[in-house]
Chain A
Amino acid sequence: MNIVEASGLGKRYGSTWALRDCTLAIPAGHVAALVGPNGAGKTTLLNLAVGLAAPTAGAVTVLGGRPAGSPAALDGIAFVAQDTPLYKNLSAADMLHLTRNLNRRFDQHYARARLAELGVPLKRKAGRLSGGQQAQLALTLALARRPRLLVLDEPVAMLDPIARHDFMASVLMAMADDGVSVLLSSHVLAELERVADYLILLSQGRVQLAGEVDDLLASHRMLTGPAAEVGQYARRPVVRLRRGEAQAHLLIRATLDDPIPPGWEAHPVGLEELALAYLREPGVAALPGPARSRYAEPSEVTK
């Protein structure tokens, strides 16, 4: 089952396309990370998927074909927007009460037990909780709806390292315990390697790269060799070239089985290195079809 499926999806604000020609299918059972620079369309894509915005073009479905925003879709999705939106003057207990009354399904026992386990005081106003506790409260409200898909927009951007670790551990335990699928956007590339097993790179409103992390890493290699011989790779799917006077590094799409000429070394790449290389070359798209579509895209989508 695909947890999110988009075809030709686009969203225009005024004359600016925040997202366009977005076609992707994210299978269930993953933590899918949506990565891209500011203004790339991450929040727009998430808002379309959870039904907070209506597409200008194309369509998006969730949870195996339910139209985004439909009652059937909303029942199975929980969304935590950027900056953990809570009513700052309401206590945690009030927030539980409110969320319970606003939703068809809400697991009160689960929510209370979880907050107790985390040591979040129920009587304190949400605005007076620590950043980590606010994030955990928002996550608890989302998980208590017992979603099949949890959508998080920049969930850890504001958190200190310990709160960030604990928050991600909570999300991943929900996945381990209940099989929740997760779609999150993030800037924190270094941590994604441990957390995400599906990657979607967005650049200038388009999907640049999408796939299971293991597959993506297995299909890219960093080649290091003499700069003078770089020319022979002109026809290979080069993602990014960095060259000094003597030595050059080429990130290419290649597998272990592809022959490497003598004098060159092939290294595996990490997720952070791979994502950075693509983000620095917004003209290179890896899926579908061959890379090297090097047309310059006017950067009309800026924040």
Chain B
Amino acid sequence: MELSGAEIVVRCLQAEGVEYVFGYPGGAVLFLYDELFKQDKVKHILVRHEQGAIHAADGYSRSTEKVGVALVTSGPGVTNSVTGIATAYMDSIPLVIITGQVPTHAIGQDAFQECDTVGITRPCVKHNFLVKDVKDIAITMKKAFYIATTGRPGPVVVDIPKDVTNHKAEFEYPKSIHMRSYNPVVKGHAGQIKKAVQILTHAKRPMIYTGGGVVLGNAAPELAQLVHTLGFPCTNTLMGLGAYPATDSQFLGMLGMHGTYEANMAMQHCDVLLAIGARFDDRVIGNPKHFFEEPRTIIHIDIDPSSISKRVKVDVPIVGNVREVLQELTKQLQASKDKPDAEALTAWWEQIKLWRERDCLKYDRKAKIIKPQYVIEALYEVTKGDAFVTSDVGQHQMWAAQFYKFTKPRRWINSGGLGTMGFGLPAAMGVQLAHPKATVACVTGEASIQMCIQELSTCKQYHLPIKIVNLNNRYMGMVRQWQEFFHGNRYAESYMDALPDFVKLAESYGHIGMRIEKPGEVADAMKEAFARKKDLVFLDFVTDQTENVFPMVPGGKGLSEMILV
């Protein structure tokens, strides 16, 4: 029997086991919405802005390892989605975004709500397709899911003109797929792994540095086993938090621009560096020239060959699936007669202990005004370290990363690569839908939250009991911090004048709002809010306006050139 293109798309989603589609209807996708309406396997979540749809699908994916799916209309539906797509692309999140397009005969005619979707999204997708024939829909959908999830994951856009969704074709969903031009390497090179074992067992001052690849590659247990087998110190990037338990004694905290003193010093002064699923980006190693002043041997495991030797020349590249490579590496380490140099390790840990004593994350705990760090600590306490925490971008993001001790992967959900303000709330919606019983907190600031505040309405519609932790310092905090440090205290446009009353705002959307002004009220407010299992609570914390994030590696400086508190 022949089915319409729209029905075929929905059948494909069903075949892929898609639970939720996040989207917003419009002219070019009406046939698709009609088919979604006629079935109940794939549930549609109506957002209030397409950017929110992509972030929600993104949060859903980050917290589950499943593909996030979004559906938007042509033209402005697509352009509104671009920030979300670029966010997912920078952090390698597997999404399939179905976009409506004007009818084939109207393409190129500057039709109403037309845009060159494939052209606009090309630089921020792993791949994209324009489907011009209804017969190609099924195979294209199969390819889209395959490409999004294999190799280094990423978003894939499938652009379908309106008439194609109305044409008819026989439907059969392909069981498997082979693409001659796309064959990601999975297994690490045995010879390279052997070389890595040699280098690791002869290291005097070793360091293990891991990134988002360990989270996305579901390799946290393998990482823990490796770190314990070796007895080496371990640090995570912002994207890698939770891949190694932050409560473990071998964990040095996050590294990078706002990383801990001990993590950055160990990174700078190590003689052997094992990098796993990380990409040496500018926020992590600072100035690469300064990084190279200290000689060290670098082993780099990554699924993406182009991430290796991009910013930092690597001695032993190992391309492959992080999980499989770590399994093989640990196996070979355990079988090897060479063992890590215990004496050298003891001395190295002594040095690290001295760095730790610097207590780089200290802050004034007796302050009369609420310190943002304290709010995160209170959040950690009330959620017993077991919440899913999403964040926006800025100071609050860094404090959440520094002070919430993540012990499991996929719990810390933030826009690390693109740094997208407005990400936190819609991402939290995706997380909450994926984990209806779990505690989901969105750590945000009064500037970021206003970038996708409209999603409070979506939260009401679907009864999503997210807890919004708003660190309200009346400034775009990170901008203000840079202006204080590097622009002579000239706070150009970083002051948030005319803020809304967030309590009333939350209430007007049908939620609960709380304003907390004194340090003594923080813990109780948290308890009260998190006890409300069925309600979204907007906690508006009035925090210290002048608090800065420390340590800080200024832009262009080396890792060991931190500004400390």
Is B a genuine binding partner of A?
no
A interface list, Cβ under 8 A from B = none
B interface list, Cβ under 8 A from A = none
